[in-house]
Amino acid sequence: MIHPTAVIDPTAIIASNVEIAPNAIIGKHVTIGRGTSVGANSFIGDWTEIGENNQIYHLASVGPAPQDLKYRGEECWTRIGNNNIVREFATIHRGTVTGIGETIVGNNNLFMAYSHVAHDCRIGNNVVMANAATLAGHVTVEDHVILGGLVAVHQFVTIGAHAMAGGGTLVSLDIPPYLIATPGTGDAKLRGLNLVGLKRRGFSEEAITNLKKAYKALFMANLKLADAIERINKEITDCPEVDYLLAFIKRSERGICRG
């Protein structure tokens, strides 16, 4: 059902059984997939693709122009997958030509009230951003990440899969996968493995044991990073989770949070 007070650009493509509530605004070149609902007084900006079965609550803003002074109205996109929940006052901005040209959101994510995803961010699947969690531009958030309330992430940071940042954490360096970061003296501080999350998602005891060994070598043995990685490669074999942790650390461009 589309309410008669909704303002929809004629170039927008709206699938069947989409609900658009009173006073919603749908911009040009917008596509909205089946089963999606758009709440009252919400805004869907130009060049936005929204998949199926998303819930966009009242007063949310998806796909507006980026908060980048270099942006001059170029065609850039916001691409949203399926089964996402975007709560009231949450904001997800489109990409820029100086970035990757698009902001990408996967599937099954929850963006709580007042959370913010800036231009050129890439969000995976099953991510939770709690109230007022904020991503600067060009941030990558991998699958199954949880960001607590008031978390602030610096531009170009990557947060690894299954990681968690506690409420109020300031993040300026990459957070490796599987780990928990909490507020430190100025910047984030690592606090160990995200054990509850890993167990809930069915990680084997063997994998968790190996990740514990890797964590101790990397962050508790007072070793240089290269030496810690060398030790882990010798002591732990045939563990995809540890392999991914080490690969993430090796490719990090900003450097990793160590605490």
Residues belonging to the active site: 119-120, 137
Q: Please state, in angstroms and rounded to a whole number, the distance separating the CA atoms of residues 194 and 220.
A: 16
Q: Please state, in angstroms and rounded to a whole number, the distance separating the CA atoms of residues 147 and 149.
A: 7
Q: CA of 86: how far to CAs of 27, 200, 250, in Å? A: 18, 24, 34
Contacts of 234 (CB under 8 A, 6+ apart): none
Q: Please state, in angstroms and rounded to a whole number, the distance separating the CA atoms of residues 61 and 48.
A: 11
Q: Nearest 5°: phi and psi at 102? A: -160, 155
- Do 246 and 233 form a contact (C-beta atoms < 8 A)? yes
